[in-house]
Amino acid sequence: MNYKNEIRNLIIEASKVADRPLTDNDFEIVHQSLNHIPLKLPKGKMAVYTFLYKGKFLKIGQANFKSNARYQSQHYNLGIARSTLAKILTNDPEMTPLINQENLSDWIKKNCERFDVIINAELGKNTLNFIEGLLHYKYNPKYEG
């Protein structure tokens, strides 16, 4: 599955229908493969981030231009925020045989891909919400929000 192209086309087509067209100049899709090292959110950008495990989206969320920690590191660790991927995984009986507190961060990096939409911050919160909503609707992540 070419998620990078699928996400791009979804955003472009849906934004046209909404009569507020977005172009390739407004956003980019960044793929962080299995065994990734989490990237920093570029200055002046905001993002809709995704975590994909074995073809299933686990989590889709957003980080505004002031939220690099949310984008780059919080989802990989326990105890930082309540709704992180790490925290959710430890509460899922299907996942607990695969993970433990010692290997959690490395497990996510090794086993989850990311397809992140990096958006020009000047497009604002409504654009961020629009794109996050599209991806939630399309991919129905296992863990909400």
User: Distance from CA of residue 10 to its chain's centroid?
Assistant: 15
Q: In the prediction, which pLDDT does 145 show?
A: 56
Largest CA distance in the chain: 48
Percent of the chain at pLDDT exceeding 70: 99
Average pLDDT of span 29-51? 96
63-64-66-72 Cα dihedral, nearest 10 degrees = 20
Q: Which two tokens stand for residue 75?
A: 């989802």
End-to-end C-alpha distance for the chain, whole angstroms: 23
Kindly report the pTM of this predicted structure: 0.93
Q: In the prediction, which pLDDT does 69 show?
A: 86
Does 124 have pLDDT greater than 90? yes
Average pLDDT, the chain: 93
User: pLDDT for 74-121, tens place per residue?
Assistant: 898 887 777 899 999 998 999 988 888 788 999 999 999 999 999 999
Q: Which two tokens stand for residue 15?
A: 């934004």
Average pLDDT of span 64-83? 85
Does 65 have pLDDT greater than 70? yes
CA distance to 42, 75, 96, 131, per residue, from 63 (Å): 11, 12, 27, 12
- Give the closest residue to 131 by CA, choosing from 116, 109, 142: 116
85 sits in which H/E element: helix 85-90
